[in-house]
Amino acid sequence: MVMAGRIKRFSENINIHYFSFEIFFHDELKAYPKMLAIKNKEIYYSKNAHTVVIQDNERKCLLMTENKLPTSTNWCLIPVSPAHYECKPTKKKYNKSSFGLKETDVVYVHSGSVSPWAGINQIIEAIEKGLPDNTYIFIHNRSKFNKSDGHHRQLFELKENGANLILHDGLFESYDEYYDFLLCFDYGITIYDPDGGIFTGKNIEEIGLASGKFSTYMMLGLPTILSKCNTYKQIINDYAIGQIINDKNDLSYHINNHSLSKCKKSDCEQFYSMVLDPTKAIDSFINALS
């Protein structure tokens, strides 16, 4: 944004289209003077953007307030979401038995970072409280597990002590292979725990449709347990695609009470098609450029 703003100073005929993938907040940057200086410049130059592209209305409101953007700003909402994937059952590489599970086992998958901001503390707590018979949590780490990491070490200890837990950190050759892998499972876990970091503070507190994990689960038809944010609360009010973690009902509650059992794969896929498929929004934005 800052580079584009500087270039525009030399040519008023240039339109700036600002893609906001992360929202940086002034008060979270106070300990980082150089980044704070860049943030101040971002605020200054973003007011001259022709279009601001962001993921949903909640994040739009956050950025508008944080950057003091004028009400006349032109907005384009595009969720962080994969293009539609067509499952090919005849080419499936993975199934539950690939990981020592029975096809009748119920499996909740967490895929991505295995860190506190990504909900690992809540997942560990749910495992420690105990899972129902024939119910497993499958954790796929986007990087390699490291036993020098206290959370990773705790997971290995739980597994060694007989917890219904599968740990996996294998790589995938393509998105198609990754989607095929995820299709083995029954339900998704999408948790974000803000920790005050510049990337993992307020930016993920209202993660909403900036979560590619959530969008991928929906595309593949996996009902999902979600951390509480305004966008997810509204979605769950309108669509039967998952359940929200709150002060009363934590992850363990939802798993042990089978909260997702009435959610249908087809409803998740339809929600993706109606709300999360980025194709139409991207096409609309590109057409507006011409």
**Look-up: residue for tokens 């499972």?**
185
Q: What is the pLDDT of residue 288?
A: 83
205-237 pLDDT per residue, tens = 999 999 999 999 999 999 999 999 999 999 999
Render pLDDT for 72-121 as a digit per residue (tens, 0 to 9): 999 999 999 999 987 766 567 899 999 999 999 999 999 999 999 999 99
Instruction: Provide CB contacts within 8 A for 193, sequence distance 6+.
Output: 116, 117, 118, 119, 121, 122, 227
pLDDT at 53 over 60: yes
At residue 13, the pLDDT reads: 72
Tell me whether residue 54 is exposed, middle or buried, using C-beta atoms within 10 angstroms of its C-beta: 0 to 12, 13 to 18, 19 or more: buried
Q: In percent, how much of the chain has pLDDT > 90?
A: 84
User: What's the pLDDT tens digit per position in 138-173?
Assistant: 999 999 999 999 999 999 999 999 999 999 999 999
pLDDT band, very low/low/confident/very high, at 283 (cuts 50, 70, 90): very high
Of 83-87, 167-171, 180-184, 279-283, the poorest mean pLDDT is in 83-87
Give the pLDDT confidence of 1-15 residue by residue, as tens digits: 666 666 666 567 778
Q: Is 281 helix (H, G, I), strand (E, B) or coil?
A: helix
Among 111, 54, 58, which residue's Cα sits nearest to residue 278?
Answer: 54
- Count of CB atoms situated within 10 Å of the CB of 146: 12
Q: What is the pLDDT of residue 93?
A: 84
Q: Which of 40-44, 191-195, 232-236 has the lowest mean pLDDT?
A: 40-44
User: In the chain, where do the E strands start and end?
Assistant: 17-19, 51-54, 74-77, 106-112, 135-141, 165-168, 187-190, 224-226, 242-244
Least confident of 7-21, 177-191, 233-247: 7-21
Phi, psi at 272, each rounded to 5° = -55, -50
Q: What is the mean pLDDT of the chain?
A: 93
Q: What is the pLDDT of residue 249?
A: 96
pTM for this one? 0.93
- Across 46-66, average pLDDT: 94
Judged against a pLDDT cut of 60, whether residue 137 lies above it is answered with yes
